[in-house]
Amino acid sequence: MVARFDVVTIFPEFFSVLDVSLLGKAGQAGTLEFGIHDLREWASGRHRSVDDTPYGGGAGMVMRADVWGRALDDVIAAQPSPCVVAVPTPAGEPLTQRRVAELAQREGRIVVACGRYEGIDRRVIDHYAQRDDVDVWEFSLGDYVLNGGEVAALALIEAVGRLVTGVVGNPASLVEESHSGAGLLEYPAYTRPPSWRGLDVPGVLREGNHAKVDRWRRDAALAISAARRPDVLSRLLADLDRDDRAAL
Ligand code: SAM
């Protein structure tokens, strides 16, 4: 399984949150390793500049291939393990739980190259895509534009890291989740008190009949998926039985 994440960024301070919560504990226990690298260490000149104006003109700045090349060569060479270079970009493949699960199963590590400004000179991606020892993967958090790749890097690290054995205490909690297991969105959850501000926990969840609870949860997951994500439901239609179809 993936055991290490390296991030190259001009804002290493973004990643102080990796010391917190389950990922923080996994880092302290050595289950996961994090290497956060400041891109400017590979920049030269008094200003340690990492960007320049775009060929062809236009607004904004582009991150320089020579700086990124030095940084990625060093970060990749520092560890002998197989490596995915993940490049956040709004023009990338959508980040999905299926892809996250595949990445978590891979041996080695993930190096995330965080762009800023108008992004990274295209030749960087093309160059590393030619290397046999590296898989380059451009991914998007969604159909909107962020200022930089750092938030996307954190989302990727948390989504993949929590699937690594030992990071989440109870692995069963990873199975019945939205986009996992059955692939549906998850049913609603409730805890004490049984009545709050005039809203009651559904009676079936308090009766102790596990078969009925399972049926209620499945029906709720189907209804939520149909209402919010018909695209998710339509991919699963062939797997639905008669009871499932009756719930829709
Ligand atoms: N000019 C680029 C475009 O239109 O595709 C957007 C550049 S954006 C302002 C700067 C950086 O933010 C990108 O290089 C990328 O690293 C990151 N970014 C922005 N939106 C993202 C998204 N939806 N998913 C992943 N990364 C994103």
145 annotated ligand-binding residue: yes
Beta bridge partners of 86: 112, 137
Question: What does each of the 248 residues of the chain score in pLDDT, given as a tens digit?
Answer: 978 999 999 999 999 999 999 999 999 999 999 999 999 999 999 999 999 999 999 999 999 999 999 999 999 999 988 999 999 999 999 999 999 999 999 999 999 999 999 999 999 999 999 999 999 999 999 999 999 999 999 999 999 999 999 999 998 889 889 999 889 999 999 999 999 999 999 999 999 999 999 999 999 999 999 999 999 999 999 999 999 999 88
Most ligand 1 atoms within 8 A of CB, residue of 11, 136, 146 to mutate? 146
Q: In this structure, what token pair is assigned to residue 22?
A: 């389950």
CA of 77 from ligand 1 middle (Å) equals 26
Q: In this structure, what token pair is assigned to residue 75?
A: 């970060």
Alpha carbon nearest to ligand 1 atom 19, residue: 146
List of residues 6+ apart from 132 with CB closer than 8 A: none
Q: In this structure, what token pair is assigned to residue 172?
A: 């069963």
Peptide bond into 90 cis (omega under 30): no
Q: Helices 150-161 and 21-29 meet at what angle, rounded to 10?
A: 70
CA of 222 from ligand 1 middle (Å) equals 34
Beta bridge partners of 51: 63
CB 40 within 8 A of CB 192: no
**How many residues in total does the chain contain?**
248
Alpha carbon nearest to ligand 1 atom 27, residue: 89
Give ∠ CA 177-224-99 in degrees, rounded to 5: 40
Matching CATH number, 2-171, of 3.30.390.50, 3.40.1280.10, 2.120.10.30, 3.30.70.260: 3.40.1280.10
CA of 100 from ligand 1 middle (Å) equals 19
CB 139 within 8 A of CB 152: yes
175-247 domain in CATH 1.10.1270.20?
A: yes
Q: List the chain domain ranges.
A: 2-171, 175-247
